[in-house]
């Protein structure tokens, strides 16, 4: 990542500001991540093809059974061990560098949640029970996960996630606004339903509202709602949206069972949420999306690209890394789930799935919806349908 100007490092009031040294540290981590993925990771696939698989085949007298067997052999290679340790270390450095920067200014960030004449709202549930599949481990190794709360009027996990997200994506999801996925949801919406009117919309699993703000900005008169599981996360998300001038109604709710009445929304969507839920939760979430949609309403789920069936041996081993060392326990399950089938089973009609070209600004008539992925961050898997 090259050194951006000061505004692009903190493009809205809630984004934790960086000192010179913090900026240098965070950009170093972003560069380290980029270096590992561009320069070191390709060598792992090469090592596997040129050495590990041929040696296994010779030793076993047959080709390896599956990628798990190959992974076992790769794990004995010092090269692979070094790569895996570097990826994990860079991830820990990312959270650490963002965390110290957030903690230095946490009181100021909390004071920014005193917004005069807010356009949206924040509804927290003191009795909310975080689903086990989120609570079980710190997803992405983020210390405190999505839902830790530190003191009164807390915003820490939201600030931490926001400060780190651009580093995590190595700048490829819309810089510090991190909103390309939201615009990509809209590109798909315009592709399929260019004439559809949206009066009420719901984002499930909004985190800090990166995609919520992007989608809501296309419907300035609509009532926009967003739900997630963490109180501090949502307080930050709400304040962030207010400071960028978009009114959104955030509430602490489980997407499996919300308190919205039947037939409420014209558009319900999720962005990169399904791969973080359990196999049991998925059909419940699909059914809940259908319940709260109006007849004729539209559901869109955006997910990580690369279905298991399309991944080669290295792609599968790389996917396993996320499960084993980045606390993404449902990664393989999600990548092998038939999302289209799940949406159909929930009773939706006109179900389509494919890959929507990523965009920083959605426009009707632009952005292809393809059968195959263009690659990570260049297109996103989408399944969409009508109630």
Ligand X SMILES: C[S@@+](CC[C@H](N)C(=O)[O-])C[C@H]1O[C@@H](n2cnc3c(N)ncnc32)[C@H](O)[C@@H]1O
String marking each residue 48-87 x if it binds ligand X according to CB under 6 A: ----------------------------------------
Pull the structure tokens for residue 358: 């990523």
Chosen residue from 94, 186, 202, 206 binding ligand X by CB under 6 A: 206
Q: In sequence order, which residues have a C-beta less than 8 Å from that of residue 287 and are 6 or more positions away?
A: 346, 347
Q: How far is the CB of 276 from ligand X (least distance, A)?
A: 5
One residue of 4, 11, 131, 175 binding ligand X per CB under 6 A: 131
Which of 51, 172 has the CB closer to ligand X?
172
Nearest approach in angstroms of CB 229 to ligand X is 4
Q: Applying CB under 6 A, does 225 fall inside the site for ligand X?
A: no
**Which residue, 363, 16, 12, 66, is CA-closest to 189?**
363
* Number of other CB atoms surrounding residue 320 within 10 Å: 16
For residue 182, what are the contacts with CB-CB under 8 A and spacing of at least 6?
210, 211, 212, 213, 214, 215, 271
Helix (H) or strand (E) holding 343: helix 339-345
Q: Which is nearer to ligand X, 206 or 382 (CB)?
A: 206
When binding is defined by CB under 6 A, the residue of 44, 97, 184, 207 that contacts ligand X is 207
Question: Counting contacts by CB under 6 A, is residue 216 touching ligand X?
Answer: no
Measured over the CA atoms of residue 333, residue 80, residue 141 and residue 268, the dihedral's sign is negative
Interface residue with ligand X among 14, 15, 29, 134 (CB under 6 A) is 134
Range in contact with ligand X (rule: CB under 6 A) among 43-51, 226-234, 324-332, 347-355: 226-234
Q: CB 227 → ligand X: shortest distance, Å?
A: 5
Residue 163 as a binder of ligand X (CB under 6 A): the answer is no
Around 376, how many Cα atoms within 13 Å sit in the side-chain half-sphere? 12
CA dist., res. 206 & res. 360, Å (int) = 18
Minimum gap (Å) between residue 184 Cβ and ligand X: 10
Question: How far apart (Å, rounded) are the C-alpha atoms in residues 355 and 252?
Answer: 30
Q: Is 359 in the site for ligand X (CB under 6 A)?
A: no
Residue 255 near ligand X by CB under 6 A: yes
Smallest gap from Cβ 21 to ligand X, in A, equals 28
The residue among 134 and 385 lying less far from ligand X, judged by its C-beta, is: 134
CB atoms within 10 A of CB 46: 12
For residue 278, how far is the Cα from the chain centroid? 15
Question: Is residue 14 near ligand X by the rule CB under 6 A?
Answer: no
Tokens of 382: 């989408």
Q: How far is the CB of 208 from ligand X (least distance, A)?
A: 7
Which of positions 177-196 make contact with ligand X (CB under 6 A)? 181
Residues 123-134: b if buried by 16+ CB within 10 A, e if exposed: eeeeeeeebebb
Residue of 74, 142, 273, 343 interacting with ligand X (CB under 6 A): 273
What distances in angstroms separate CA 36 from CA 52, 85, 90, 170, 243, one per listed residue?
21, 11, 9, 11, 35
Q: Does 271 bind ligand X (CB under 6 A)?
A: yes
**Could you tell me the smallest distance in angstroms from the CB atom of residue 285 to ligand X?**
6
Structure tokens, 269: 């969507």
Taking residue 116's Cβ as centre, other Cβ atoms within 10 Å add up to 5
| Count of residues that bind ligand X according to CB under 6 A | 22
Q: How near is the Cβ of 33 to ligand X at its closest, in Å?
A: 17
Minimum CB separation of residue 255 from ligand X in Å reads 4
Task: State the alpha helices, DSSP H only, in 273-327.
Answer: 281-292, 313-325
Which positions touch ligand X (CB under 6 A)? 131, 134, 146, 181, 204-207, 210-211, 227-229, 254-256, 271-273, 276-277, 281
């Amino acid at each position: 990542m090259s050194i951006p100007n000061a505004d692009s490092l903190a493009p809205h009031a809630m984004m934790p500001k960086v000192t010179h040294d913090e900026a240098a540290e965070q950009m170093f981590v972003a560069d380290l991540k980029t270096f590992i993925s561009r320069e070191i990771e390709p060598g792992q696939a090469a090592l596997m093809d040129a050495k590990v698989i041929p040696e296994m085949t010779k030793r076993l007298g047959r080709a390896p059974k599956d990628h798990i067997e190959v992974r076992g052999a790769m794990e004995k290679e010092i090269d692979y061990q070094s790569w895996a340790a570097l990826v994990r270390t860079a991830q820990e450095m990312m959270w650490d560098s963002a965390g110290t920067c957030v903690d230095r200014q946490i009181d100021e960030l909390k004071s920014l949640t005193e917004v005069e004449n807010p356009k949206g709202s924040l509804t927290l549930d003191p009795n909310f029970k975080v689903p086990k599949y989120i609570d079980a481990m710190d997803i992405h190794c983020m210390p405190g996960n999505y839902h830790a709360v530190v003191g009164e009027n807390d915003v820490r996990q939201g600030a931490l996630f926001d400060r780190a997200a651009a580093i995590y994506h190595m700048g490829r999801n819309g810089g510090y606004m991190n909103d390309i996925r939201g615009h990509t949801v809209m590109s798909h919406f315009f592709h399929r339903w260019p004439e559809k009117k949206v009066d009420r919309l719901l984002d499930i699993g909004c985190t800090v509202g990166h995609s919520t703000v992007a989608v809501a900005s296309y419907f300035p008169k609509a009532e926009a709602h967003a739900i997630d599981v963490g109180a501090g996360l949502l307080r930050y998300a709400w304040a962030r949206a207010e400071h960028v001038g978009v009114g959104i109604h955030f509430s602490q709710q489980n997407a499996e069972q919300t308190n919205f009445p039947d037939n409420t929304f014209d558009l319900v969507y999720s962005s990169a949420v399904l791969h973080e839920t359990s196999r049991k939760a998925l059909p419940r979430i699909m059914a809940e999306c259908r319940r709260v949609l109006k007849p004729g309403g539209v559901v869109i789920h955006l997910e990580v690209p690369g279905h298991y069936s399309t991944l080669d041996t290295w792609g599968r081993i790389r996917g396993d890394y996320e499960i084993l060392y980045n606390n993404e326990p449902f990664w393989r399950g999600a990548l092998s789930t038939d999302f289209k089938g799940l949406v159909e089973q929930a009773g939706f009609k006109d179900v389509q799935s494919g890959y929507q070209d990523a965009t920083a600004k959605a426009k009707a008539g632009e952005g292809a919806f393809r059968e195959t992925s263009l690659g990570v961050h260049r297109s996103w898997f989408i399944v969409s349908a009508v109630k």
